[in-house]
């Protein structure tokens, strides 16, 4: 499937807070793993701000 054929859904700014949190965690987690990654907010700090339990954070990174 070509990228232009994929349903783009709705803009990020229209997402609910829970969905925005998921996007933030995924983006910061991925950014930390990019080669020569620029300084970025730590994904674990994002999880902490979202008050996720430690075992949830560890399971996500597993």
- Mind listing the pLDDT tens digit for each residue in 15-51? 888 888 888 899 888 888 888 766 677 888 888 888 9
Q: What is the pLDDT of residue 57?
A: 87
Question: Shortest CA distance to 41 belongs to which of 55, 24, 16?
Answer: 24
- Residue with the bigger pLDDT between 59 and 9: it is 59
Q: What is the pLDDT of residue 5?
A: 61
- Taking the model in full, what pTM does it have? 0.68
- Secondary structure of 1-62 in HEC code, one letter for each residue: CCHHHCCCCCCHHHCCHHHHHHHHHHHHHHHHCCCCCCCCCCHHHHHHHCCCCHHHHHHHHC
């Amino acid at each position: 499937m070509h990228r232009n054929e994929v349903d783009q859904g709705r803009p990020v700014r229209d997402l609910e807070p829970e969905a925005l949190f998921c996007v933030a965690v995924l983006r910061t987690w991925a950014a930390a793993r990019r080669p020569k990654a620029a300084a970025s907010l730590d994904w674990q700090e994002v999880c902490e701000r979202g008050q996720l339990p430690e075992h949830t954070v560890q399971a996500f990174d597993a």
